[in-house]
Amino acid sequence: GGTWVGSFDPKAVRLEFSLPENIVPVAFFPVGYPAGDAVPSGNHSSRKAIGETVSYNDF
């Protein structure tokens, strides 16, 4: 599985990965296999109605 990660400390990432100043970390996409006993969060099975998250032609 994988997930988008956009909340992190850019300074810490820059140090950990020795990134040059001209490279700006904006997100990560870690990929791997879940642990054998991993259980998905309840958020994976509950969904908002589409009208709560999508708007057409206005806001």
Is 1 buried (19+), middle (13-18) or exposed (0-12) by CB count in 10 A? exposed
The list of the chain residues with pLDDT below 70 reads 59
Tokens representing 27? 């997100």
